[in-house]
Amino acid sequence: INGVWPKKETTMKHLPVIPESEFKQRREALQARMAEAGVDLLVVNSNDRSTHGHGNIRYLTDFATHFEPSCCLIPRSGESVLVLGPESEALAEITAKIEHIYVAEEYTHPEEEYPCSTMYSLKEIIKKTEHTREGEIRKIGIIGEEFMDPAIGAALKKNYELVSADTMMIDVRSTKSEAEIKVIEYTYKIAGAGLKAALGAIKEGVTEYEVAAEIEYAMRKMGSEGVGIDTMVASGVANSRPIIARTTFRRIKPKEIIHLSIIPKYQGYHAAIGRPVSIGDPGASVVEAAELTVLAQDEMIANLRPGVLGREVENLSRVVMARKGFVLPYIALHSVGVLEFEPPIFFSKNDRKLEENMIVSVDVPCFLNPWGGFRIEDGYRVTKDGAVPLLDSVQRGLIVLD
């Protein structure tokens, strides 16, 4: 339309969103860290990998990377640039909150032609950013190198000094603004609606797929834009045993474990809840494991406060689970935001302390057992007075249906 694109209309005035001004503030926060590190330009990368690839660009621009990769160029001073492929351009024009958008030749499909787009090489686009700052670009910080085509990295290395800058992004994203907290709180309400729908749908003879459909339908009606990780409805020993379960056409039977993991995405942000469910008594082994898992959660929750080493809080769950011989197959405490499982992840070598307004998932896994498996997972906000649950109206532990 003569180069002038209409802005997308919205009917979500009653729901929380991230204000447009906050995206610019996030880029400015990175610019402050660039000056300290002597970095002239950041190249922040995303791709459409469903669980992790999209997060960086969504956080900085609100653009949801899909089908083609993208990057954000942030000079030490001046205006930032969103770089993407030609098929994403029109979508970016109406959704991205950023000063400039360019299409890069490197992000095109090699067997396609795009007569409607003006394209530049990535090197040409980087040169354009020099006009928005003082001095020549020499040192480039790379964020999300794993999402960048190796050929692009090799080309940049020929012309610039490259350094890893992932810690800058982790520092900026580790605590949440009030707008982010409101969005995440609502996302947990969406997750709660999904769990309620699941409990209403679980009946003898119903397939796992049918339960998953009810979960996702309930969440879509509340504004979910999809899921961060595929909805998991896994029943019986074989299906529930793996850490990453696959929903199938298996029909649910009484007195067996049903593992639910529900991870909606709203405005780019995630919530994650996990529950074991059964129709009738699933047996002493499952009941005992579920009770122990809740105790492990309780130990962690009681110690979620600013200034405490996150890895020490995480280890409390391991101590509790070890009382009955259970070994946690992954880390039980991590941050939640534009990724469902995002840094900081409080593993044994991470010395990061908890901070006020971190959003964390207390996620105690109990998988790979002879009788199957499950996770009990809930989200919490770290405050100066301790942990505040983001979903306090849903029963923790094993849910037994009549």
pLDDT tens digits for 40-97? 999 999 999 988 999 999 999 999 999 999 999 999 988 999 999 999 999 999 999 9
pLDDT at position 240: 98
- d(CA 182, CA 376) in angstroms, rounded, equals 23
Give the Cα separation of 225 and 339 in Å (integer).
14
pLDDT on residue 14? 86
Cβ(227)–Cβ(247) under 8 Å? no
User: What whole-number percentage of the chain has pLDDT above 90?
Assistant: 88
- pLDDT the model gives residue 136: 83
Cα dist from 34 to 144, 153, 163, whole Å: 16, 20, 11
Confidence grade of residue 12 (pLDDT, cut at 50, 70, 90): low
Contact 198/214 with Cβ under 8 angstroms?
yes
Closest CA to 379 of 346, 349, 337: 337
Q: What is the pLDDT of residue 5?
A: 44
pLDDT at 1 over 80: no
Write the CA distances from 374 to 33, 210, 273, integer angstroms.
41, 19, 11
* Contact of 96 with 61, CB cutoff 8 Å: yes
Q: Is the dihedral of CA 101, 105, 106, 108 positive or negative?
A: positive
* Structure tokens belonging to residue 272: 């994650």
* Mean pLDDT in residue range 5-30: 81
Q: Give the pairing type, strands 258-262 and 232-235.
A: antiparallel
Q: Max Cα separation, the chain?
A: 70
Geometric angle at alpha carbon 179, from 177 and 181, rounded to 5°: 70
Q: How far apart are CA 234 and CA 160, in angstroms?
A: 49
What is 56-118 written as a DSSP string?
A: HHHHHH-----SS-EEEEEESSS--EEEE-GGGHHHHHHH--SSEEEEEGGGS-TT---TT--
The pLDDT tens digits for 288-327 are: 999 999 999 999 999 999 999 999 999 999 999 999 999 9
Residues 364/293, Cβ–Cβ less than 8 Å: yes
pLDDT at position 4: 46
Mean pLDDT of 350-360: 97
The pLDDT value given to residue 134 = 59
Q: What is the pLDDT of residue 51?
A: 86
Alpha-carbon separation of residue 329 from 73, 363, 366, 395 (angstroms): 38, 11, 8, 24
Q: Say yes or no to pLDDT of 10 above 60.
A: no
> Sorting pLDDT into bands at 50, 70 and 90, what band is 256?
very high
* 225-239 pLDDT tens trace: 999 999 999 999 999
> What are the strands, taking DSSP E only, across 258-320?
258-262, 264-266, 269-270, 273-279
pLDDT digits (tens, 9 = 90+) for 178-227: 999 999 999 999 999 999 999 999 999 999 999 999 999 999 999 999 99
Give the mean model confidence (pLDDT) for residues 149-170: 94
Calculate the average pLDDT of the chain: 94
Q: Is the pLDDT of residue 2 over 50?
A: no
Q: For residue 241, is pLDDT > 70?
A: yes
Percentage of residues in the chain having pLDDT higher than 70: 95
Burial tier of 128 (Cβ tally within 10 Å: 0-12, 13-18, 19+): middle
List the structure tokens of 380.
Answer: 């919490």
Mean pLDDT throughout 108-114?
89
Confidence of residue 3 (pLDDT cuts 50, 70, 90): very low
CA distance 192 to 260: 12
| pLDDT of residue 20 exceeding 70 | yes
